[in-house]
Chains A and B, each alone.
Chain A
């Protein structure tokens, strides 16, 4: 049963963005009919949230296959558990590419949302806050660890308010002007895209 659910989740994650959207989109005729006009932004957002849910579900399923951590784990045990989880995620998402979760439409929507905040009265301060000790341009890979020993740029509350809320174990991060989806539990990069904000 768990295996079936896992397979279903993996299928959802690996499905092409077009295929995923196709399954959720209303019939073409609805777009031409004012009575059934679709809020495209809301639809893009709903689809993004579905992909997030699918990732979290996958991660949970995979973690469930690992021996549970003891109540008061040592640093070594936490580390070993995390490494095992990363290996499972990397294997299961071996074909994942940048843009699987931040699809083209999601990227466009996020850039618009962020531009609204950064073009506002606090824009300069927000940019300064994000660029404070920002590690700058680094080579990033999906399913790999957030670069070790590199400080993280802070993400101001105003920026987080502008973006869809994520489940507790996922966070947005900036590296340079790239926006990352970071799995804090596994400490890996789930997805990222360039030019989220103007440099």
Chain B
């Protein structure tokens, strides 16, 4: 596990949560050794938006099921109402039975609790099958936007595998029209990543990042590289790579990129977040229930 202290920038401040900040919720008993003094907490307040982020998960493996069990455990104490997926929702065969063994069963606890999943698609996902799958809530679209049920938040699920000009035009129009305080894009290929296997996607970055900057995006979620990484703020935006929901590429974070604010590449993980007005609190939880990263992101103001 690697951990690098975050850098503070002009308008995005990342702060470690102090134990005294809130007493209402604690999702793990112990934080990693490097941050042993901190007990990572989320406020778990009434009326906030609570959500989870999951990527690169649909393997059907024992580890995927264990992550699903851990998510359900967290949900018992921190009742997030939705999960956004950053793609590679199913690997390999994607017949109807695979949707059961690689999605419905691993997350049965969440689905039974009426947690809604909003999928974006990765390069392993069969687009024509998944976009019509009811439990992915894509409504037949490859890219779409939706308003969160609480707080002033709008999500943008994008298709990074086929980023055609019409999608970029749509994105610009929707970002411009969005009146919400938080505009949160999520998709598969990371604009920034320290993955030795894949790494950053500069071609996509040059197309989308200017829009994210222009329209006041504060945080972006992606996957593709099979680990967890929080990137040092780029253009005042915090990028997360959350690609270890089922897959894992051990030791794949290359710190020489200088991009890593915090990383975890020794086990699977998912992220839970809470938005309360201008603050986004996050915890990253490993398959075994340890909090491996946490912090607060202040919303950028346009």
Tell me the A residues contacting B by CB distance below 8 Å.
Answer: 72-76, 78-79, 82, 122, 125-126, 129, 132-133, 148-149, 151-158, 160-161, 165, 171, 184-185, 187
Contacts and interface: CB of A to CB of B under 8 A. Distances in A.
List the 7 shortest-distance A-B pairs measured between CB atoms, nearest first: A156-B203, A75-B96, A157-B207, A157-B163, A151-B123, A160-B164, A154-B161
A129 B203 contact: yes
Q: Which applies to chain A's interface (DSSP): helix, strand, loop or mixed? A: loop
Given A72-B134, A132-B198, A185 B124 contact: no
A126 B202 CA distance: 9
Contacts of A153: 123
Given A72-B134, A78-B129, A126-B203, A149 B93 contact: yes
A64 B161 CA distance: 30
B146 interface: no
Contacts of B201: 129, 154
A183 to B, nearest CB: 9
Contacts of B123: 133, 151-154
Interface residues of B, number: 32
Contact of A148 (B93, B96, B198): B93
A171 B91 CA distance: 21
A158 B92 contact: no
Contacts of A76: 96
A122 B134 contact: no
Nearest to B97: A75
B96 A156 contact: no
Contact of B161 (A152, A158, A161): A152
Interface of B: 91-96, 99, 123-124, 126-129, 132-134, 160-166, 168, 189, 198, 201-204, 206-207
Nearest to B201: A129
A153 B161 CA distance: 7
A109 B187 CA distance: 32
10 contacts: A72-B134, A73-B132, A82-B128, A155-B161, A155-B162, A156-B163, A158-B203, A160-B164, A165-B165, A184-B127
A154 B189 contact: yes
Contacts of B132: 73, 75, 78
A73 B133 CA distance: 9
Nearest to B166: A165
Contacts of B94: 149
Contact of B128 (A133, A155, A187): A187
B94 to A, nearest CB: 8
B98 to A, nearest CB: 9
A154 B129 contact: no
A160 B127 contact: no
A125 B164 contact: no
Given A76-B96, A122-B203, A129-B203, A157 B129 contact: no
A68 to B, nearest CB: 14
A157 B191 CA distance: 13
A185 B142 CA distance: 12
B165 A161 contact: yes
Contacts of B134: 72
A158 B168 CA distance: 11
Chain A CB within 10 A, most for which of B94, B96, B134, B164: B164
B96 A79 contact: yes
A72 B137 CA distance: 12
A155 B207 CA distance: 13
B191 to A, nearest CB: 12
Nearest to B133: A75
A7 to B, nearest CB: 28
Contacts of B126: 187
Nearest to A172: B162
B136 to A, nearest CB: 11
Contacts of A72: 134
A168 B132 CA distance: 16
Contacts of B164: 155, 157, 160, 165
Contacts of A133: 123, 198
